[in-house]
Structure 1
């Protein structure tokens, strides 16, 4: 397997030649993705195969990595393994994209070359959960830890009523600075 992947690719040319790309890319190189992670360590294993089915140029393959997300319950890191299947149809217009089969996502080309990192990053961004959280009940674990460390209170603290000032004003009859006699 290659250790480095090309920076730019020509997907249509690779599809005509039935090309394949295999290699690794560091997670830290994926700028948009690394900004959403708790830690940008590790690398993405990339296997992409280019072909033409009928007249449709395609990219199929797999992306494998382990991402470190931040739990939205306890704010601690969550290990998120990713094994994502890539199925892209290479198109140049929106009309072509609309005619793709439902199981194929469009890759809209604006020129002949495309930044490979952008394809990989887009696919990984689609795999992220909206609200990452641990599989176990992490809030219960944090509550148990905080109860064992917290000092024991002998009596509950009394809360003050924020409207008690209004009650005093009502009793004196001096609302808005005027008194009626």
Structure 2
């Protein structure tokens, strides 16, 4: 076990050695997440175990963090806790990826070494919601009279039947 996570890893070599990685990656180093984050503070706790099951080289473990996302309703900070299990099969071709057991996702590698943060960032992007929102109604109600609250106006106004005009015409015999 390493106390500090390496920047680059060789997944096949780690699988052969039954390697294990535990540590933290700062959220600020996850570049592809930057656009959806409200703040890049904090870190992602990473626990990865490499091994082999027959010919299958695999990575299993979990990542855990609390990301500060931007709510798509109120544009304020929204804390989004994540605890995600990782189960990857290490493959070098798309043909190998097609033959993976159903409960494994492919980790396609071209060369020996890859960035560890890319694996973590890919997994985070897969579990994040497309439109993060607070679980409660977070839109701020304005008390200014110039602001119109459409939801209240719709509820108060009686619903008109769009066919009422046709009913009047039918009753008068003009149709």
Question: TM-score normalized by structure 2?
Answer: 0.80
Counterpart of 1:124?
124
Residue of structure 2 equivalent to 1:113: 113
Structure 2: distance between partners of 1:30 and 1:41: 11
Corresponding residue number in structure 1 for 2:97: 97
| Aligned position for 2:65 | 65
Partner of 1:48: 48
Cα distance, 1:102 vs. partner? 1.8
Quote how far apart the aligned CAs of 1:45 are: 0.4
1:21 aligns with 2:28: no
CA–CA distance in 2 between the matches of 1:2 and 1:129?
32
Tell me, which stretches of 5 or more residues in structure 1 are unaligned? 154-181
Deviation per CA, 1:73-132: give whole Å up to 9, x if none: 111111000001111000000010011122111000101111111111111111110010
- 1:138 to partner: Cα distance: 1.0
Deviation beyond 6 Å, 4+ runs, structure 1: none
Q: Counterpart of 1:78 in 2: which secondary structure?
A: strand
Gaps of 5+ in 2: 148-175
Structure with larger Rg: 1
Q: Does 1:74 align with 2:74?
A: yes
Q: How far off its partner does 1:35 sit?
A: 2.6
Over the aligned positions, Cα root-mean-square deviation in angstroms equals 1.6
Aligned residues: 147
Mapping 1:148-167, distance limit 5 Å: 150=144
Q: Is this contact kept in 2: 1:23–1:45, CA < 8 A? A: yes
Normalising by structure 1, we get a TM-score of: 0.77
